């Protein structure tokens, strides 16, 4: 018997859940009964929903952990007991610290404007927990439900999930490492889209740049001040009265001319769309949508109108096609990327009533009330927008950013951490927020650098730029009526730190692009917690002011202390610090793991400046055996020719023998020929000490250690 809200229940059904192996070895689907399994609604998180519903017969492994369940008042309560010392991560877009033990999360997409570390629901929903066991092995747990879901991690080593019945639970592992779990998870829900390379540069935005003339001023100032930047963003005020697919007749009267100006100066243009369509006869988009009958409806069958707006029902294929056709036309204005906002969906400061009706496709669950489709509305809008961009030009990779999302959104769009604040708390939270998104299958994310709400001061902004320049998605953005937050808006020191931080990013772009290639092809995160370097080290489990970009450790200052000399707790092994002759106390410390080789590029102002014939630099740190390995992935930076083998993947190895380090190509892949270019090898010896040599890429390069008392 269980007490709840002052009442006593007498009918409680509880038992172990029933496992069925799916997808691949070590992955199990659990249901409360065979009847539940047969009647479960389709999966919206799996890339191929049939994989969730099709048992495999080749698995001879039983589940290590079997969840138990209780059915109480139309709620399914699932419980998983794990060994002592288990650490919890993931749970999607969440505020607070990196390690999630002690937290409760409610998956309900919410416009959480100005959230804090106690906020339980943000803009995205990921009913997913990554559990790292004390021995470094890991288990992934997905509650495959779109409905409001409570994930209770308040008890150590215990996962409790509560949601309306009935839903399957999917477990991945335990596997040997957290990375293995995430790769298996990605094979189920899909990997991140391969981004166009320009989208990995710096993005500058504001709500809002109030005219096309102001946008031109921003772009020209970046070039004049030689601060690297690739993208300028247009927020909602470019529209005519917030009407989607329109342009303000005075302030943005000629979007094609603006786009041409930006393109001529090596910038891309990203423009905002939202799901709010003005309920206004004569507005061409409204009239078109009404004719096609694509609006979300009330229970009475009439279009739902919220504060003067109607909303496309993206659960219907007809509505998605309608939207995609308008996106296709919109892109012809010189639109390079699209930002979709307010798509939780936000309505009347909250969202739609649960009673609102979506006439969904059968493969999504058919006709359902809003409580079923609320959490996936933003993802389905992202899918439709993505498809519209591909219709406009199928030879370019779409770039999109979405505020709302669900498990699987990474297939269509990048994301960011929403309306954060210009304070030190939000700078500190930015790292664990980006990391937990990555640990939930969303590797392409970042925070609004400097904070969106409020006025940053110089030290906060420059330290935030130092951290944000290392995030997978790198954008500065600020709210209207706040102070200007462009890199030059504070003082000369701040401007110079921003310039240095972004130069770092652009020099590291070949390495960052490598990491996106791995994220796209294997499902690994771009940025990972420091404990990924040694999952068995319990001392690293809560470390959230540092993170890894592959073998590069980024150690940041996220406090307002004047001196940036905190003691760094490094993982076991060899970690050698490096920089780009750009030391500043507000920039993160960088370390390269022994045994690693990473590629670097010459400094540039935008991605388009880089050429394949440019010099390549390899940064090398040997392991204790005197060896190192790394790779460089190269393709056109856009388009899909890489799928037909048009790329070059080079693996480099280094080996120390008799005081000589030899660096050579060990293997190549892809049909591209290697360009004739110089190769600069920089060998990290110890902190502040390097050896380097020049050669030709593809040929053997050697570095000789200096003899005692003599020259090299």
Residue 2 confidence (pLDDT)? 35
Query: Which pLDDT score, from 0 to 100, does residue 565 have?
Result: 55
Identify the CA nearest to 277 among candidates 264, 265, 268, 286. Answer: 286
pLDDT of residue 706: 83
The CA distance from 154 to 54, in Å, is: 34
Superfamily of domain 2-189: glycosyl hydrolase (family 31) (2.60.40.1760)
Residue 651 pairs in a beta bridge with: 631, 667
Contacts of residue 36, defined as CB under 8 A and 6 or more positions apart, other chains included, come to 165, 166, 168
Closest CA to 190 of 48, 324, 319: 48
pLDDT of 13 reads 75
Q: Residue 710 and residue 638: Cα distance in Å, rounded?
A: 50
Domain 2-189 and domain 197-522 have a common topology: no
User: What span, in angstroms and rounded, lies between the C-alpha atoms of 465 and 582?
Assistant: 14
The β-bridge relationship of strands 231-234 and 128-132 is: unpaired
- Which CATH entry fits the domain spanning 197-522: 3.30.450.20, 3.20.20.80, 3.30.70.1450, 1.20.1250.20? 3.20.20.80
Q: Are 487 and 494 in contact (CB under 8 A)?
A: yes
Predicted pLDDT at 239: 98
Residues 6+ apart with CB under 8 A from 612: 634, 675, 677
Regions of the chain short of the pLDDT cut 50: 1-10, 710-712
Q: Are 8 and 1 in contact (CB under 8 A)?
A: yes
The per-residue pLDDT for 707 is 72
Q: Structure tokens of 573?
A: 């092994």
CA–CA dist 631, 466 (Å, integer): 26
Q: For the chain, give every domain's residue range.
A: 2-189, 197-522
pLDDT at 560: 87
Q: What is the structure's pLDDT at 711?
A: 41
Residues 85 and 538: beta-carbon distance below 8 Å: yes
């Amino acid at each position: 018997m269980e007490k709840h809200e002052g009442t006593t229940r007498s009918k409680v059904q509880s038992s172990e859940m029933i496992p069925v192996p799916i997808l691949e070895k070590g992955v199990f689907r659990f249901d409360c009964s065979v009847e539940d399994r047969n009647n479960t609604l389709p999966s919206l998180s799996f890339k191929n929903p049939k994989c969730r519903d099709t048992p495999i017969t080749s698995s001879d492994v039983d589940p290590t952990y079997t969840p138990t369940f209780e059915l109480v008042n139309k709620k399914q309560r699932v419980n998983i007991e794990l060994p002592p010392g288990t650490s919890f991560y993931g749970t999607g877009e969440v505020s607070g610290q990196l390690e999630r033990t002690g937290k409760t999360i409610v998956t309900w997409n919410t416009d959480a404007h100005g959230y804090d570390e106690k906020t339980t629901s943000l803009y995205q929903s990921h009913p997913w927990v990554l559990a790292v066991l004390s021995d470094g092995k890991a288990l992934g747990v997905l509650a495959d439900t779109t409905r409001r879901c409570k994930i209770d991690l308040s008890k150590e080593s215990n996962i409790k999930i509560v949601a309306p019945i009935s839903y399957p639970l999917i477990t991945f592992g335990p596997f040997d490492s957290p990375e293995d779990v995430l790769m298996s998870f990605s094979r189920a829900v899909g990997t991140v889209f391969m981004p166009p390379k320009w989208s990995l540069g710096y993005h500058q935005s504001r709500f809002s740049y109030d005219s096309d003339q102001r946008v031109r001023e921003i772009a020209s100032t970046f070039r004049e001040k030689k601060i690297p930047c690739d993208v300028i963003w247009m927020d909602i005020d470019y529209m005519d009265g917030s009407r989607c697919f329109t342009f303000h007749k005075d302030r943005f009267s000629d979007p094609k001319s603006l786009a041409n100006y930006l393109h001529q100066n090596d910038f891309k243009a990203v423009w905002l769309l939202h799901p709010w369509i003005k309920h206004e006869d004569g507005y061409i988009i409204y009239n078109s949508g009404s004719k096609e009958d694509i609006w979300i409806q009330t229970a009475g069958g009439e279009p739902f109108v919220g504060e003067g707006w109607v909303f496309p029902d993206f659960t219907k294929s007809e509505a998605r096609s309608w939207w995609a056709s308008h996106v296709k036309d919109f892109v012809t204005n010189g639109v390079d990327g699209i930002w979709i906002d307010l798509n939780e969906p936000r309505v009347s400061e909250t969202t739609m009533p649960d009673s609102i009706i979506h006439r969904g496709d059968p493969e999504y669950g058919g006709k359902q009330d809003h409580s079923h489709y609320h959490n996936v509305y933003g993802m389905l809008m992202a899918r439709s927008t993505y498809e519209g961009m591909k219709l406009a030009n199928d030879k370019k990779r779409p770039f999109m950013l979405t505020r709302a999302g669900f498990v699987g959104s990474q297939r269509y769009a990048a994301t960011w951490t929403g309306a954060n604040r210009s304070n030190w708390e939000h700078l500190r939270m930015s790292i664990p927020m980006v990391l937990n998104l990555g640990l939930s299958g969303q590797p392409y994310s970042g925070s609004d650098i400097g904070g969106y709400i409020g006025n940053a001061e110089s030290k906060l902004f420059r330290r935030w730029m130092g951290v944000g320049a290392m995030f997978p998605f790198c954008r500065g953005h600020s709210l209207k009526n706040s102070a200007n937050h462009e890199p030059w808006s504070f003082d000369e020191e701040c401007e110079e730190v921003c310039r240095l931080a972004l130069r770092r990013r652009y020099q590291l772009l070949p390495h960052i692009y490598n990491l996106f290639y791995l994220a796209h092809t294997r499902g690994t995160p771009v940025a990972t917690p420091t404990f990924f370097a040694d999952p068995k080290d319990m001392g690293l489990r809560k470390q959230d002011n540092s993170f890894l970009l592959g073998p590069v450790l980024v150690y940041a200052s996220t406090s307002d202390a004047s001196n940036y000399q905190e003691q760094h707790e490094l993982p076991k092994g060899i970690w050698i610090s490096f920089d780009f002759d750009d030391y500043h106390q507000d920039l993160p410390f960088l370390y390269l793991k022994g045994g690693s080789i990473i590629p670097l590029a010459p400094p540039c102002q935008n991605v388009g400046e880089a050429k394949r014939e440019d010099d390549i630099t390899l940064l090398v740190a040997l392991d204790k055996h005197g060896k190192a390995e790394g790779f460089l992935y190269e393709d056109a930076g856009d388009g899909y020719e890489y799928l037909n083998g048009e790329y070059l993947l080079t693996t480099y190895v280094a080996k120390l023998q008799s005081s000589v380090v030899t660096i050579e190509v060990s293997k190549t892949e892809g049909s591209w020929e290697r360009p004739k270019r110089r190769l600069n090898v920089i060998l990290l010896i110890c902190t502040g000490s390097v050896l380097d040599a020049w050669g030709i890429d593809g040929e053997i390069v050697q570095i000789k250690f200096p003899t005692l008392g003599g020259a090299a």
